[in-house]
Amino acid sequence: MSRSAEALMKEAMALPDTERALLIDGLLATLDPEKDADADQAWAMEIERRGAELEQGIVEPLAWEEVRKKALRLVHADPK
């Protein structure tokens, strides 16, 4: 990483979470300039579907710490 990128990273890490999230979103958007026109609508429908499943008791929410532990186990699992 260049010095200017390191300086930007240090400055970005000092931002509040919401501002860092907006910055990340903006940067990621520049990496995929040919965004699928239906993507936003598809995600909105998916969010609605998942919310309805939660409200109806079809699925149970998991605590972030539980999800994080499971993800770390999967990432660090021995592939053998």
As a 3-state breakdown, the chain gives helix, strand, coil percent values, each rounded to 5, of 70, 0, 30
Q: Rounded mean pLDDT of 11-38?
A: 88
Per-chain mean pLDDT for the chain = 90
- Can you give the pTM of this predicted structure? 0.47
Cβ neighbours around 73 below 10 Å, total = 9
Cβ neighbours around 71 below 10 Å, total = 10
Contact 35, 29 (CB under 8 A): yes
- Tally the C-alpha atoms within 13 A of residue 36's C-alpha that lie toward its C-beta: 6
Model confidence at 74, pLDDT cuts 50, 70, 90, reads: very high
Distance CA 80, CA 74 (A): 13
